[in-house]
Chains A and B, each alone.
Chain A
Amino acid sequence: MSMEMMLATYEFQQWLYREAKLLDDIDFDGWFALMHPEIMYSMPVRVNKEGIERPDYATDMFAFHDDHHLLSLRVERLKSDYAWAEIPPSRTRRSVNNVRVEEYAPGEKAVVKSYLLLYRSRSTDIHHDIVSGERTDEFVYVDGEWKLKKRFFVIDQTTINTRNLAIFV
Chain B
Amino acid sequence: MGKPEVRLDEMTRDEALQYLNETMNPEEGAIPAYILSDPTIYKLEHEKIFMKTWVLLGHVSEIPNKNDYMLRDLAGYSVIVSHGQDGEIRAFYNMCTHRGMKLCRADHGNKANFTCPYHGFNFKNNGDLIGVPLQNDIYGGRLDTSKMGLNKVTIDTYRGLIFGTWNDNPQPLDDFLSDFKWYLDIGLGRTEMEVVGPPQKFIVHSNWKIGSDNFVSDSYHTMVTHGSIAQLGMVPSATYSKKGYQVHTDNGHGCLIGMPNPDFPFPEELKDEYKANLTPEQFDLISNMKNLIGTLFPNLSILVSHTKVKGQLVSNTTMRLWKPVGPDKMEVMTWFLVEKNASEDWKYRSREAYILTFSPSGIFEQDDTEVFTDITQAASGTMPFAKQLTYNYTMGMHREPVTDFPGPGVAYGDKFSEANSRNYYRYWLNLMNS
Tally of contacts, chain A with chain B, CB under 8 A:
126
Q: Is the CB of B200 within 8 A of A127?
A: no
Residues of A within 8 A of B206 (CB): 163
Q: Is the CB of A61 within 8 A of B356?
A: no
Residues of A within 8 A of B111 (CB): 50
Partner of A48, one of B106, B355, B370: B106
- For the complex, is B395 an interface residue (Cβ under 8 Å from A)? no
What 7 pairs across the A-B complex have the smallest Cβ distances?
Answer: A61-B197, A82-B227, A164-B366, A165-B361, A85-B366, A82-B228, A50-B106
Residues of B within 8 A of A158 (CB): 107, 201
Bound Cα distance A76, B229 (Å): 11
Q: Is the CB of B196 within 8 A of A64?
A: no
- For the complex, is A70 an interface residue (Cβ under 8 Å from B)? yes
Residues of B within 8 A of A47 (CB): 107-108, 198
Residues of A within 8 A of B356 (CB): 66, 70, 73
Residues of A within 8 A of B352 (CB): 65, 70
- For the complex, is B360 an interface residue (Cβ under 8 Å from A)? yes
Nearest-Cβ distance from residue B43 to partner chain A, whole angstroms: 23
Q: Is the CB of A80 within 8 A of B198?
A: no
- For the complex, is A161 an interface residue (Cβ under 8 Å from B)? yes
- For the complex, is A4 an interface residue (Cβ under 8 Å from B)? no
Residues of A within 8 A of B361 (CB): 43, 63-64, 74, 164-166
Partner of B365, one of A50, A62, A73, A164: A164
Given A84-B371, A160-B203, A49–B227 Cβ distance below 8 Å? no
Which of A60, A70, A84 counts the most chain B CB atoms within 10 A?
A: A84
Q: Is the CB of A73 within 8 A of B371?
A: no
- For the complex, is A6 an interface residue (Cβ under 8 Å from B)? no
- For the complex, is B232 an interface residue (Cβ under 8 Å from A)? yes
Bound Cα distance A66, B225 (Å): 23
Closest to B197 in A: A61
Question: 17 other contacts beyond A158-B107, A160-B201, A165-B366, with CB at 8 A cut-off?
Answer: A45-B197, A45-B198, A48-B71, A60-B197, A61-B198, A61-B200, A64-B359, A69-B310, A73-B232, A73-B356, A76-B232, A80-B231, A84-B367, A163-B206, A164-B204, A164-B365, A164-B370
Interface string of A71-103 (1 = CB under 8 A from B): 001101100111111000000000000000000
Nearest-Cβ distance from residue B374 to partner chain A, whole angstroms: 8
Closest to A70 in B: B356
Residues of A within 8 A of B46 (CB): none
Q: Is the CB of A160 within 8 A of B231?
A: no
Interface string of B344-371 (1 = CB under 8 A from A): 0000000110011001111101110111
Q: Is the CB of A83 within 8 A of B228?
A: yes
- For the complex, is A14 an interface residue (Cβ under 8 Å from B)? no
